[in-house]
Structure 1
Amino acid sequence: MSILRLYITEHWPLEPECDWALLGADGQPLEQGRSDPRHWPKADSCEVLLAGAQTVWLSVRLPRAPKREQERLVRFALEDQLIQEPDSQHFVISDRQDEQARVIVVARERMRNLAAQLEALHRVPHFLGSELEYAPQREDGWTLTLTRTHALLAGAGPCPIPFDIEDPAQPPSLLATLLEQARESNRLPARLVLCRAEDLAASDLDAWTQVLGLPVEDESPYVWHSFAATTNLLQGEFVPDQRRGALLRRMRPALLLAGGVLAIELVVSLGQVVWQRQQVADAQAKMRSVFTSTLPNQPMVNPAAQLRRQVNEQRRQHGQLPDDDVLSLLTEYGEAAGGDARESLNEIRYEEGRVDLTPSPAMQPRMEALVERLRQRGMSVNTAADGKLALRRETLQ
């Protein structure tokens, strides 16, 4: 699979030409050059490296927190280090150790512009990185990477520092200032190593040494496209649709399994509903049959209430108490109250199948539980604001 790597500076696309390199499946360059998008070679995928000061790489203290809280904590931690408003910046954590983290920051507007331009060119990248993360570094000194338009200084801080330059053949004034500060704080490096872009002429090392006041050495040329992709800035709102589609393809078996389980659950639920409806219909048919055979000359309005009324009438004729008699209702109350029933009532009134009870003050703290037990026994219970209860036998519809 071939990869087209683009070296995008801060002047692109106003200056449409940029450096590019076409890499083969083994990661080795097949072609490289500098041209506008019309002459970029075809490739299977595209990667972009943001050059120079388009990004900054900052070191911050970042407490451990759930992922959904990370962005808010990063904004808070970087607020004092940013010139622009944190909401206008895109943050990506590159690495962290315990509570110390390094964060790459780039303007959201720049990311949106790049995404729109590259999509219009049909060169949607699957990786977008910061040149700062791949700047050459040496443990025994500072390393200055020189290009036509900017420089990267590594070793002077926890992260490389990007800055613009006018003449790559001359020592930058900012570098001289940083060295002077290091000299005053007794942190002067042992040497300065220069890494020049391939298209830059060799520097006069003796002149650099004389101006800067420390040994300056030249190293192999800086090859911008020879990096192993690590921190991808295409995260959050900037994840390309192609990557979202790839994620969905990887998740497809799990989604199909979940969909199958949901479909089975839906079928089972529908089956239960149909079965329950049939049970209700059978019960209603049985009730109609019983009602018609028991009360042949009466219209069926409320079968349960009518049958109960007929049963109570038969009980009275045979010397038995109906279920809505005051003694039957008080029996239900006594069984629900249990051991608390004794001396629990101050007043009892009965009228047409309803008994009104006035509980004693000692019973008030247990009224809620008592009402619940009465309802579980099939009683209809109404409570008044003054604590009185109205009980009647509930008629099922």
Structure 2
Amino acid sequence: MNRRLIVYVGEHWPTQPSTPWVVLDDRGQAIEQGQSDPRYWPAAEHCEAVLAAPLCSWIEVKLPAGARREPERLLRYAVEDRVAGDIDHQHLTLISQRRVDDGVLAAVLVCNRARLREILTALAACNRPALHMYAELQAEVGEGEDWTLALGVAEHGVLHPGPGRARLALDKAACEPLLAHLLDQARRAGQAPARLVLRYQSGAGGLDAGMLAERLALPVVEGAPYCWWSCRNSAADLLHGELRPAHRRTGWYRRLRRPLALAGTAMVVFFLANLGEVLWKKQQLAALEQRMQRLFESAVPNTPAVAPALQLRRHLDEMRSKHGLLRQDDALTLLAAFVDSAGSGARGALSAIDYEAGQLKLSLRDASALNVSEVAGRLAIKGYRLRQNEDGTWVISQEIGR
């Protein structure tokens, strides 16, 4: 039988080591329960923890619809003004989301990160490392539209003010005035409950239901016993992200060890193949550069090679000009490049042509007949640049550096 030990972590644990615990079987039924310090906790296959309600805050914030990038950062920004102290010292756990008219209403549990680390370290020191940790605020407290107040052996209670509303930890000593204040707010908002249900943990002190009903002007009834460990299967685990237990990560690693080894081997082979290809291409590039250098020295002697490709292109243009041939930036060459790139769309498209200092300016009858990006891409392949002015004219020039 798989036994789970669930430990209640109160506000003063481990300074005050004695704390409630319960052992559950495979079906989630309690087979043992008690209160003691870690030396007397019963044996179990693994340990879980329930964090006392005062150690967490249940906060509901509205997020913009469609905001999916960096959800952790967005939650921290939304919760920041609702949290006492530095938000960077808090550990956030998203427990639910529901769509509203103008966005998403998110429920978030906020706990102090240093306190959680202290608890995890203490449990590990007791040789009871926590596999999971839940908040008492997530316990199955109430159902329906009634308000439910759950009272355990600790000095606080948990108020569940109906479905879809944030749960609260209430100090037992100030329970009545706090309830009266919250009820007054609910009545003003038109959300007053029909009754208040009281649930007690075995051995916990109770409230006078009759006197409480008189003071709150609300029917008060006693419900089923309160089980602080009864969290739903869908309850959010507080141990995620940087607080995820190492032994839980190890379990996943064991199951994925062979696939990971295979993937690692494939990555090594892929890396070596790419490295060989890079070295081979580097050798080819070096050979091409040497050949270009030899061609440059033979074509343009006594000239230092700064940018051989550009210098050879300019030298070629100078030689063409000397022999009466067209240069790469002559008007006819630029016009031929445009016609070739524009294709059949160039027929009848031009209304005026102007050429000056290596730039061909074209005025179009109907600019929408030609796709600017397609023509510019084809010209770029040929070594030319296309620029469109604000007045709709196109300017074609030789690409600098080619």
TM-score (norm 1): 0.67
Structure showing greater Rg: 1
Match of 2:319 in 1: 330
1:106 alignment partner, one of 102, 111, 118: 111
Once the 2 structures are TM-superposed, how far is the Cα of residue 243 of structure 1 from its aligned partner?
Answer: 2.5
SS in 1 for 2:319: helix
Kindly provide the CA deviation profile for residues 157-187 of structure 1, in whole angstroms up to 9, marking residues without a partner as x: 81111122139xxx63312333344455554
Match of 1:53 in 2: 54
The alpha-carbon distance between structure 1 residues 258 and 107, as it changes in their structure 2 partners (threshold 3 A), is same
Q: Which amino acid aligns with 1:143?
A: T
Q: Hey, what's the Cα distance between the residues in 2 that align with 1:186 and 1:276?
A: 75
Q: Hey, what's the Cα distance between the residues in 1 that align with 2:316 and 2:84?
A: 85
Q: Which amino acid aligns with 2:248?
A: R
Percent identity at matched positions?
A: 34
Matches within 5 A, 1:1-397: 1-64=2-65, 69-98=70-99, 99-148=104-153, 149-155=155-161, 158-166=165-173, 172-183=176-187, 187-200=191-204, 203-229=207-233, 230-269=235-274, 330=319, 337=328, 362=356, 364-365=358-359
Question: Is the contact made by 1:139 and 1:155 (CA closer than 8 Å) also made in structure 2?
Answer: no
Q: Hey, what's the Cα distance between the residues in 1 that align with 2:274 and 2:187?
A: 78
Kindly provide the CA deviation profile for residues 7-59 of structure 1, in whole angstroms up to 9, marking residues without a partner as x: 11111111111111112223222321111111112222211111121111111
The alpha-carbon distance between structure 1 residues 329 and 11, as it changes in their structure 2 partners (threshold 3 A), is same
Aligned length: 318
Q: What RMSD over aligned residues (CA atoms) do the two structures have, in Å? A: 4.0
Of residues 257-266 and 136-145 in structure 1, the stretch that sits farther from structure 2 once superposed is: 257-266
The alpha-carbon distance between structure 1 residues 121 and 339, as it changes in their structure 2 partners (threshold 3 A), is same
SS in 2 for 1:57: strand
Q: Which amino acid aligns with 2:171?
A: D
SS in 2 for 1:166: helix
Kindly provide the CA deviation profile for residues 231-250 of structure 1, in whole angstroms up to 9, marking residues without a partner as x: 01112221111222234344
Question: Is the contact made by 2:331 and 2:358 (CA closer than 8 Å) also made in structure 1?
Answer: no
Kindly provide the CA deviation profile for residues 128-160 of structure 1, in whole angstroms up to 9, marking residues without a partner as x: 111112241232421111123111111168111
Q: Hey, what's the Cα distance between the residues in 2 that align with 1:5 and 1:165?
A: 24
TM-score (norm 2): 0.66
